[in-house]
Amino acid sequence: MEVIETEKRDLLDMSFKELNEAITKLGYPAYRAKQIYEWLYSGVLDFSQMNNLPKDMRAKLEESFTTGRVKIAQRLVSKVDQTRKYLLELGDRNIVESVLMKYHYGYSVCLSTQVGCRMGCKFCASASLGLIRNLTIAELLAQLLTIRHDLGQRISHVVLMGIGEPFDNYDNVIEFLKRINREDTLNISYRKMTVSTCGIVPKILEFAREGIPVNLSISLHAPNDEVRRRTMPVAKSWNFDELLSACKEYTRLTSRRITYEYSLIENVNDSQEHAEILAKKLKGTLCHVNLIPVNAVKGIDFKKSSRQRIETFKEVLDKYGIAVTVRRELGSDIMAACGQLRRNNLTKTRKV
Ligand code: SAH
């Protein structure tokens, strides 16, 4: 009988307890479950490579289970700064992308949370293609584990700033973060994880109550409703004040500093006046502003602000005592910015 792949359960979707049950149900002793669990979280997802398991068991596992079903379809390494961009193929042939960056403190990986995105931000390469589906817990894990295995070194930081809106796939994302934090998996500290949202207010409030000290980034990109609505449709669901109140509530409950991402687009959101409005709104809140020269995306008519305008914008925030940095661009030669490579690949095969 032909086995239909989608009927196989995925071991990465399971907690250790569930995996243990599944393995013992197949007739194997519990220590085998532990061995499999260890292989998986060391990045070995291919049963045939789990060489302390008997050969017939590996075949049986192959027949019964999957392990994320993520394959590296393409890997680009930047000549400028060693940033690696991965194009990953999922079990249903959809693709997502992830970026690995090397910092002085270690490796940081930027992961996707959905296939596509439905948030529709006008400057974003992923938005124009729409949402196809959420990533499963297994796929979120397999993304990280596959890259870890390919790198052959520990990854210390995880940021959810790839394709998709993490808070539109909330439950899987939270379970994923909790899973990689465990001592018996990857033991990554919550403080070294970052979730970025375009501003889904009810989920920010829910996140504030999760009790996990994960960093929160808000993609703000505007000083007020008028500007924000021009580039970010989500601003029509929750206005600027509602978003800011949710952020203040988050800080009140967690005592954690929020990072506001602000991509500077020439003549859209980058004037001195915009900086003044923003500064007045953020003054007195526990925050950090990250200014990002917007990345040019083919077919999208937004230009990067000039160095001069970025500097002036920064000076205004400085003047108000707001912590602000200008983000260093990594991997500029390999289209490392969010969604660019996937979009480029899809547009080769289908018109968008
Ligand atoms: N959906 C989440 C996370 C994914 S995008 C969010 O909105 O936060 C990661 C970051 O890249 C966001 O701040 C997003 O607004 C920003 N971004 C998307 N396209 C960009 C571009 N062309 N130039 C600069 N930043 C961009």
pLDDT digits (tens, 9 = 90+) for 48-100: 999 999 999 999 999 999 999 999 999 999 988 889 999 999 999 999 999 99
Residue 215: CA count within 13 A, CB half-sphere: 19
- 6 versus 226: the higher-pLDDT residue is 226
Dist. CA 282–CA 270, nearest whole Å: 16
What CATH number matches the domain at 9-66, 1.10.150.530, 2.40.30.10, 3.30.450.20, 2.60.40.10? 1.10.150.530
What per-residue confidence (pLDDT) applies to 328? 73
Residue 151 C-alpha to ligand 1 middle, in angstroms?
25
Residue 183 C-alpha to ligand 1 middle, in angstroms?
31
Dist. CA 149–CA 206, nearest whole Å: 33
Q: pTM of the predicted model, to two decimals? A: 0.94
Q: Are 282 and 260 in contact (CB under 8 A)?
A: yes
User: What is the separation, in whole angstroms, between the first and last Cα of the chain?
Assistant: 40
Residue 12 C-alpha to ligand 1 middle, in angstroms?
28
- Indicate if 121 belongs to the active site: no
The tokens for 207 are 């996140």
Dist. CA 272–CA 276, nearest whole Å: 6
Dist. CA 81–CA 103, nearest whole Å: 10
Instruction: Inform me whether the pLDDT recorded for 323 exceeds 60.
Output: yes
Instruction: Inform me whether the pLDDT recorded for 173 exceeds 90.
Output: yes
CA angle 76, 79, 80 (to 5 degrees): 120
What per-residue confidence (pLDDT) applies to 337? 61
Pocket of ligand 1 (CB under 6 A): 119, 121, 123-124, 161, 165, 196-198, 219, 261, 263, 292, 294-295, 297, 337-338
Q: Are 161 and 202 in contact (CB under 8 A)?
A: no
What residue ranges do the domains of the chain occupy?
9-66, 73-351
73-351 is classed in which CATH architecture? Alpha-Beta Barrel (3.20)
Q: Which of 7, 97, 183, 198 is catalytic?
A: 97
Instruction: Inform me whether the pLDDT recorded for 29 exceeds 60.
Output: yes
pLDDT category, 244, cuts 50, 70, 90? very high
What does 101-149 look like in DSSP terms, one character per residue?
Answer: EEETTEEEEE---EEE-SS--TT-TTGGG-EEEEPPHHHHHHHHHHHHH
- Indicate if 117 belongs to the active site: no
Nearest CA to 295 out of 255, 338, 259, 232 is that of 338
Residue 302 C-alpha to ligand 1 middle, in angstroms?
14
Name the residue with the closest Cα to ligand 1, atom 21: 295
Instruction: Inform me whether the pLDDT recorded for 114 exceeds 50.
Output: yes
- 254 versus 348: the higher-pLDDT residue is 254
Instruction: Inform me whether the pLDDT recorded for 281 exceeds 80.
Output: yes
pLDDT category, 296, cuts 50, 70, 90? confident
What per-residue confidence (pLDDT) applies to 19? 98
Under DSSP, is residue 95 helix (H, G, I), strand (E, B) or coil?
Answer: strand
The tokens for 331 are 């991997």
Dist. CA 227–CA 204, nearest whole Å: 22
241: left (phi over 0), alpha (psi -120 to 50) or beta: alpha
b/e 19-44 (16+ beta carbons within 10 angstroms → b): bbebbeeeebeeebbebbbebbbebb
Instruction: Inform me whether the pLDDT recorded for 278 exceeds 50.
Output: yes
